[in-house]
Amino acid sequence: MSTRRFAAPDDPALDQLYAEVAEADLQPLWTQEGLMPGAPPITDVAHLWKWKTLRGLAESSGSLVPIDRGGDRRVLSLSNPGLGGLPFATTTLWGAVQYLGPGEVAPAHHHTPAALRFVLEGEGVWTLVDGDPVSMSPGDLVLTPSWRWHEHHNPGDTPMLWFDGLDIPMVRALDAVFFEDGPDEMTNRAVDPVSSAEQWYAGAPGLVPVAGPGGAAAPPAHSPLLAYRWAGTDQALTAQLAATGRSDAAVRFTDPTSGRDVMPTLRCEMHRLLPGPRTPSTRRTGSSVWVTFRGAARAVVDGRAFELEAGDMLAVPSWTGFDLEAHEPTDLFRVCDTPVLEALGLYRENTLDRHQDVS
């Protein structure tokens, strides 16, 4: 369907037909190029944003740009060079670096796109989710699920920088974006060491309250646990390496009450690689953003090599070959849209027979 087209003869009747078809807000299928090519017509490209650049520009923004209602957040979004100027990291994912300076407040709002924060630098910031104060530290994953009120504040004296991952492009493609401002003033400046969500759900793996905070209400579509702490993630990866004796380990962040992904549209994983063999080259439908937490590694995407260091962010488009090789112990956070492709019966995965060549 993608290669051969009906070659229209030079026929006035056909010209007339095409004119009438266009006039009637119709289009002939047989003259369309590239509607359904053999493999996905990917336009976003593999791209690496270096932490050195991201950090510097975020810091400059911190000096020059206040946080005001309207913008609400001091965020620099990853803008994939293949997407013609759209502020999206991949076709389906928003990725960004957010900077919150000492004493600053990013005011409350909520929106149907789901968001997650993976903390890269700083201490002593709180994200309030529906008023529940969730502290943030490097390596922590913090969720602000669809339509939950959230605001950030930094009562300390150092800035914090984190990675923002959202499903904005996908929710836009479904015409389902809603947004509302919250109150301008924070109602809760408490800096509790443990969020209420963690008090309920972070006791130990497999332990859930007999009667949860929501009572008999239907459980939400997302995880009720809103923070996954680095100490726990680190411990899980360490234990998995011990269990397998391998040089790579990976955990998925899930809803502890159901085992499902933390949010219906986004999968989150943490990968640890020790120096060792290159991972198999694999292609998958759906796109990812990888965020380097620590270490140094090389990623290869469709034959192009990218060197990853702490803080670096890498966009990996759908159906591109991908593998990793660590130069030193390396921890990588990954966010991807796989739950969507799985739910819709569109997920495919293909491990290549041999490693892709590196150009």
Positions 315 through 344 that interact with a copy of itself (CB under 8 A): 317-319, 337, 340-341, 343-344
CA distances to 63, 259, 332 from 238, rounded to whole Å, are 39, 21, 14
Closest alpha carbon to 102 in 65, 63, 155: 155
Evaluate whether 129 touches 75 at the Cβ level (below 8 Å): no
Question: How many residues are there in the chain?
Answer: 359
| Paired tokens of 149 | 């009120």
Q: Pick the stretch among 154-162, 170-178, 182-190, 301-309 that binds a copy of itself (CB under 8 A).
A: 170-178
Q: Which of 148, 200, 280, 283 binds a copy of itself (CB under 8 A)?
A: 200
Q: What is the DSSP letter of 345?
A: T
Q: Of 129, 262, 291, 336, which lies in the binding site for a copy of itself, with binding defined by CB under 8 A?
A: 262
Q: Is 279 exposed, middle or buried (0-12, 13-18, 19+ CB in 10 A)?
A: buried
Q: Cβ neighbours of residue 305 under 8 Å, at least 6 residues apart?
A: 298, 299, 358
Pick out residues in 69-88 that bind a copy of itself (CB under 8 A). 69-81, 87
Q: Minimum distance from CB of 327 to a copy of itself (Å)?
A: 22
The letter for the amino acid at 156 is G
Most distant CA pair in the chain, distance? 77
194 binds a copy of itself per the rule CB under 8 A: yes
Residue 57 phi, psi dihedral angles, 5° rounding: -70, -35
Pick 106 or 125: Cβ nearer a copy of itself? 106
Q: Among residues 210 and 357, whose Cβ is nearest to a copy of itself?
A: 210
The span from the CA of 296 to the CA of 275, in Å, is: 10
Q: Which of 236, 274, 296, 310 binds a copy of itself (CB under 8 A)?
A: 236
Q: Which of residues 119-138 bind a copy of itself (CB under 8 A)?
A: none
Map the footprint of a copy of itself across residues 2-41, applying CB under 8 A.
2-6, 11, 13-14, 17, 20-21, 24-32, 35-41
**Residue 145 C-beta: closest distance to a copy of itself, Å:** 8
Work out how close the CB of 278 gets to a copy of itself at its nearest, in angstroms, rounded to a whole number.
17
Binding-site size for a copy of itself (CB under 8 A) equals 141
Closest approach of a copy of itself to the CB of residue 169, in Å? 8
Nearer to a copy of itself, 44 or 126 (CB): 44
**Interior angle at CA 314, CA 312 and CA 315, nearest 5:** 155
- Figure out which of the listed residues 223, 279, 288, 330 binds a copy of itself, where binding follows CB under 8 A: 223
Strand partners, 282: 322, 351
> Using CA atoms, how far apart are residues 310 and 305, in angstroms rounded to an integer?
17
- We find the least distance from the C-beta atom of residue 155 to a copy of itself, in angstroms, to be 22
d(CA 62, CA 41): 38
Q: How far is the CB of 167 from a copy of itself (least distance, A)?
A: 8
User: In whole angstroms, how large is the CA radius of gyration of the chain?
Assistant: 23
Q: Which is nearer to a copy of itself, 157 or 180 (CB)?
A: 180
Verify binding: residue 350, a copy of itself, rule CB under 8 A: no
Nearer to a copy of itself, 42 or 310 (CB): 42
